[in-house]
Chains A and B, each alone.
Chain A
Amino acid sequence: MDWIQILSNTVESILSPVTFAFVLASLGLAMHFGFAGLLNFGIAGFMAIGAYGYAISVLRFDLPWWGGMLVSIAAAIVFAILLGAPTLRLRGDYLAIVTIAAAEIARLLFLTNTFDDFTGSASGLFGYHDSFRAANPIPEGTYGFGPFTYSETDWWVRIFALAVLAVVIWLLWALSRSPWGRVIKGIREDEDAVRALGKNVFAYKMQALIIGGVFGAMGGVVYALPSAVNPTVYVTSLTFFIWTALLLGGAATVFGPVLGSIIFWVLQAFLTNVLPALAQEGGILESLTSQQASTLRFILVGIGLMLIVIYRPQGIAGDKRELTFVK
């Protein structure tokens, strides 16, 4: 077994744009679920809106890269309002049902042949990189060390993603420690009690839904930034992977989702590399083909999620006293 290669591939995932996209989306979920108590099972929908919003406006409407990102943000706001307006006055479960359905509707609309001219249907969208790469201030060449050796384009994507991440982390942190954050957490605990104190609960929930949704959309943009937009990415299982990352780190924290997403992807990368190798070597995984062994990681993710929820419901970074996150 080539341990050096396995470890190098594993470590590399820390700085991968996909990891950053997960961090952004799980920070959005932290705002929704961790702080406001909104059960959003459609974060993949917000990511799809972000990715397609960016790619379509750059490819089909010739907007510059930043214009595309603004369109993504605006689209996420509209999506959040559409989801929230009918459901935020109802009990939390309704939002869960509506979001999971809306995310699927969004994905199927992007997938259908009807809008092929805009969405590229099943083959997705690609080749929208010119504008973003033209803005790259880094001179041509290869930089970095060890597993973190990238071209100027790859660095530009990563630096940009990190900058977005820094802004989002600051926003979430600033909001969560403010009196606004206190109201939001109060709503998570009992919205009638907060209502009785004269706060407009609906407006606060809508604001939280929009902010978290925009974070999710930026996650989608970062996901699409280095590569292509593919409709098979934004499926319901993406939503649940992001939930896993969130719960692993700690739902009601700012750094929990960051930590959770990184651990999630490091583990994924490690298992993707190590399981097929183990299968080839023989031993305990002898009876599996390398493909089967690679799929085994999803089973392990599921088991991991169960163990977190049972034994450490507050997540890695959560408050010890905060023993339950589901009421």
Chain B
Amino acid sequence: MSNSEPVKATGLHVGEASPGVAKVDPILKASNVTRKFGGLTAVNVEHVEIPRGAITALIGPNGAGKTTFFNLLTGFDSPDTGTMEFNGKSLSGMRSHQIAKLGQVRTFQLTKALSLLTVLENMKLGATDQAGEKILGSLIPQIWRKQEAEIEKRAEELLRRFKLYEKKEDFAASLSGGQRKLLEMARALMTNPTLVMLDEPMAGVNPALTESLLEHVLDLKKEGMTVLFVEHDMHMVRHIADWVIVMAEGEIVAEGPPDQVMKEQAVIDAYLGSHQETDLGVVTGRIDIIDDGEKK
């Protein structure tokens, strides 16, 4: 873990911390959102608000509907019922690219690096409102050359920050899994988002890289962005999240600041399990705990 403890944002909610609690300054609101796949209700969220300028973690067991809820919020899937609001604008009927244009960018659980584009091209693709991306404008380089140079400069700065600068001319396919995660996050930042949604940013990443990804996520908050992420790594959640929302079986079962939420019985039952602080070997009985051994 990093040496300096991150500064936690507090005072985000109004009244008692409970599922669906109102926030002082919500950036994203969802009400009565349901999504059924055949007979299975994947998501059934009565009400939830995401606080602005803070890091919110969405946790829950596998199959709790976290990713489905993510897809609904980003327009990659449409809900059967319910309303969603981003920055006061209703998202109903909007397509994913329109939602992204509002300043809400997402990454994917299975990293989506554009393999046969170079790292730099991946980055440039993220920039918004490019004149050269219009079919007619693209034919006349004079229209987009200046903007392209600016975009390239910004992309290179971000690549330096994410330690990918040396790789900029390589195909993204040649990057390692961890570097792809970094690239995906950096590319998302090219859109100048106000809300960054990360779907399991730490999955399958080694501890050293996790640490640097953590720093990057904390940096986003410092720069005034709001972060919502799905994660299973409880250390990370405790370390960086200002607010935790717990989902189980499609519903939100608990909400609150991390240290408080992790103690709630509903959360322990549904997700953490009662042995969360114990080594797995102890739980399965394969290793003895030292003081247990002494007792014998």
Contacts and interface: CB of A to CB of B under 8 A. Distances in A.
Contacts of A181: 138
A198 B101 contact: yes
Interface in B114-136: 114-117, 121-122, 124-126, 128, 130-135
A185 B117 contact: yes
Given A186-B117, A195-B96, A201-B97, A180 B133 contact: yes
Interface in A176-234: 178-183, 185-186, 188-190, 192-201, 207
Interface stretch (B79-87, B104-112, B202-210, B227-235): B104-112
B116 A185 contact: yes
Shortest beta-carbon contacts, A-B, top 4: A179-B132, A180-B138, A198-B100, A178-B138
A180 B135 contact: yes
Contact of B139 (A178, A189, A195, A207): A178
B133 A322 contact: no
Contacts of A186: 114, 117, 121-122, 125
B117 A175 contact: no
Nearest to B122: A186
A201 B133 CA distance: 12
Contacts of A91: none
Interface residues of A, number: 28
Interface in B129-159: 130-135, 137-139, 141, 144, 148
Contacts of B100: 195-198
B139 A179 contact: no
A195 to B, nearest CB: 5
Contacts of B148: 179
A196 B105 contact: yes
5 contacts: A174-B139, A185-B121, A195-B76, A195-B100, A196-B74
Contacts of A196: 74, 76, 96, 100, 105-108, 112, 188
Nearest to B172: A189
Contact of B116 (A179, A192, A322): A322
A244 B242 CA distance: 57
Given A179-B138, A180-B134, A200-B97, 17 more contacts: A174-B139, A175-B135, A175-B138, A178-B138, A179-B132, A179-B144, A182-B117, A185-B116, A189-B117, A190-B114, A193-B112, A196-B76, A196-B108, A197-B126, A198-B101, A199-B125, A321-B174
Contacts of A178: 132, 138-139, 141, 144
Contacts of A188: 116
Contacts of B133: 179-180, 182-183, 199
B191 interface: yes
Contacts of B116: 185, 188-189, 252, 322
B187 interface: yes
B171 interface: yes
A196 B103 CA distance: 11
Contacts of B97: 195, 197-201
Contacts of B134: 180
A197 B135 contact: no
A252 B115 CA distance: 14
Contact of B130 (A179, A194, A207): A179
B124 A182 contact: yes
Interface string B31-69: 000000000000000000000000000000000000000
Interface size class of chain B, counting residues whose CB lies under 8 Å from the partner chain = 35 or more
A182 B144 contact: no
A241 B124 CA distance: 36
Nearest to A181: B138
Contacts of B135: 175, 180, 207
A201 B184 CA distance: 18
Contacts, number: 103
Nearest to B134: A180
A188 B172 CA distance: 14
A178 B133 CA distance: 7
A248 B132 CA distance: 31
Contacts of A190: 112, 114
A90 interface: no
Interface in B162-205: 171, 173-174, 184, 187-188, 190-191
A192 B171 contact: no
A135 interface: no
B192 to A, nearest CB: 10
A181 B114 CA distance: 14
Interface string A135-164: 000000000000000000000000000000
A97 B239 CA distance: 51
A171 interface: yes
A197 B100 CA distance: 6
A182 B114 CA distance: 11
Q: Which of B106, B130, B135 has the most CB of A within 10 A?
A: B135
A313 to B, nearest CB: 12
Q: Which of B115, B130, B131, B138 has the most CB of A within 10 A?
A: B138
A98 to B, nearest CB: 22
Contacts of B171: 321-322
A190 B116 CA distance: 10
Contacts of A199: 97, 125, 133
Contact of A197 (B76, B95, B105, B144): B105
Nearest to A176: B138
B96 A194 contact: no
A27 to B, nearest CB: 16
A181 B137 CA distance: 12
A201 B125 CA distance: 13
A249 B100 CA distance: 38
Contacts of B95: 200
